[in-house]
A = this chain, B = another copy of it.
Amino acid sequence: MAFVVLRQSMSTMQCVLVASADACVSTQMVKFATALSKESIVDIEGVVSLPKEPLKATTQQVEIQVRKIYCINRATPTLPINLEDAARSEAEFGKAEQAGEKLVRVGQDTRLNYRAIDLRTPSNQAVFRIQCQVENKFREYLLSKDFVGIRTPKLIAGSSEGGAAVFKLLYNGQPACLAQSPQLYKQMAICGGFERVFEVGPVFRAENSNTHRHLCEFVGLDAEMEIKEHYFEVCDIIDGLFVSIFKHLTTNCKKELETINGQYPFEPLKYLEKTLKLTYEEGIQMLKEAGTEIEPMGDLNTEAEKKLGQLVREKYGTDFFILYRYPLAVRPFYTMPCYDNPAYSNSFDVFIRGKL
């Protein structure tokens, strides 16, 4: 038996109070507690005990028999977002509709306007925690392979790639722009003798584009390494890196993945212990056999990439694979031609369900 003081928001609290209502909570205390608005912050003092029957609605198999309850900070009675509404899945909406019940939906604008409240939904909590773990594992894996983490400038004098759409600003009266990529600086670090470097940091792209693959600001996980003998050294690092992240999430973020799956259902990712590598020619051949003709020296469009992803999943049981040896014609000028056939190049792309 342990005596505890807990600080909780009321949404979590309610179950606790109900569970222990039969023990030593006075009627006044229940009245006081139920009158508190949701998301109020309370301190409770109580005795930790094992319930007579196993608790069903929670993973925690102890309960607190409340002795005292203090309200630290009372929330506005009507909040712009009700967390229950914000946490529902499409399936729940469908079921309610069939039962003739109308449930409140929380739109994206409301969520963004009241971000701090929306962050309290279990799936948002889970998304942020998983993001943190992805970065942790990314760093941990690369550090174990002798990479050095660097931090490169984001305010720069010229555009870092092509010169296309960059965010421009004045730096002390002089024209400057925001880095579209740490590419140049990573390469300087390699020439500077670091051999292997990585950076996790913001990337800025000013394209006025509205595809689901475009963001004006995002966090890039970037790595750069010397090739000693063959570009497969890079493929091997990428292979090991992704597999280690997949494994880490599957093992250590089980609860978070289940939470997200509850609101936004998804298929678990399939991957192999040793990542599948296909040549571009093999990929084209698989598509051809399935009835999708591709110009053998041309590029894959988004549709063909998605189709190939499906075919690979069916044949090899993996959502994650590497396609290599692309035609030289569809790669940038600085890609090296293959030593045995200059029509192909020392290049690769990484695919997760269609395209990464």
Contacts and interface: CB of A to CB of B under 8 A. Distances in A.
A69 interface: no
A242 interface: no
A222 to B, nearest CB: 14
A interface residue count range (under 10 / 10 to 19 / 20 to 34 / 35 or more): 35 or more
Nearest to A118: B192
B155 A217 contact: yes
A151 B193 contact: no
Identical chains in the assembly: 2
B116 A191 contact: yes
Interface in A63-108: none
Interface string A119-147: 11000110011011001100100010000
A37 to B, nearest CB: 15
A313 interface: no
A202 B154 contact: yes
A120 B150 contact: no
A53 to B, nearest CB: 29
Nearest to A173: B208
Given A149-B136, A202-B201, A194 B128 contact: yes
A275 to B, nearest CB: 26
Given A117-B192, A149-B136, A192-B117, A208 B172 contact: yes
Interface string A24-43: 00000000000000000000
B169 A169 contact: yes
Contacts of A217: 153-155
Interface string A155-181: 100000000000111111000001000
A356 interface: no
Contacts of A214: none
Contacts of A124: 192
Q: Which of A9, A119, A125, A193 lies at the interface centre, i.e. has the most chain B CB atoms within 10 A of its CB?
A: A193
A2 interface: no
Nearest to A12: B193
Contacts of A216: 155, 171-172
B192 A119 contact: yes
Nearest to A193: B120
A350 to B, nearest CB: 22
Nearest to A204: B155
A75 to B, nearest CB: 11
Contacts of A189: 116, 119, 128
B150 A132 contact: yes
Contact of A115 (B119, B150, B192): B192
A23 interface: no
28 contacts: A116-B188, A116-B189, A119-B189, A119-B192, A119-B193, A120-B192, A124-B192, A125-B194, A128-B148, A129-B148, A132-B149, A132-B150, A135-B151, A139-B139, A151-B219, A153-B217, A155-B167, A155-B178, A155-B216, A167-B170, A167-B171, A168-B169, A169-B169, A171-B216, A178-B178, A201-B201, A201-B202, A202-B202
Interface of A: 7, 9, 115-120, 124-125, 128-129, 131-132, 135-136, 139, 143, 148-151, 153-155, 167-172, 178, 188-189, 191-194, 201-202, 204, 208, 216-217, 219, 228
